Amino acid sequence: MMKSPSQNIEERRYHKVATVDEIAPGSGKKVEIGDNEIAIFHFNGEFYAIDDLCPHRGAPLSEGFLEAGKVFCPWHCFDFILRTGECVTVPSLHVQAYEVKVEGEDVFVLCRG
């Protein structure tokens, strides 16, 4: 059965979000894919993607501090595991994590939009 264009928009696919050298090691960058605001991080040679909005009071996690595989929220320092989006400080405040792949110099995130 054929899918309508609106159904196709909802399918997950890889979106190019940056080149490798656009996100310095130890830092993050906010990107928008459709309605999603996603924080991309470059940590220890790997790239990670989680929701940018901190579920505590709405800070941009992309501006947080990276350490030990986690991002610490810039406002109140709740810590989120980059790989899974789990909040260590308050486990009920987890955020969504997205699959990331790097091809050549390009960084891609798997999500709807």
**Interface residues with ligand FES (CB under 6 A)?**
54, 56-59, 73, 75-76, 78
Length in residues, the chain: 113
Torsion from C-alpha of 105, 110, 112, 113, nearest 10 degrees = 0
Smallest gap from Cβ 50 to ligand FES, in A, equals: 12
8: enclosing H helix or E strand: helix 5-10
| CA separation for the pair 25, 34 (Å, rounded) | 26
Q: Which is nearer to ligand FES, 68 or 102 (CB)?
A: 68
Smallest gap from Cβ 58 to ligand FES, in A, equals: 6
Q: Which is nearer to ligand FES, 54 or 100 (CB)?
A: 54
Smallest gap from Cβ 80 to ligand FES, in A, equals: 9
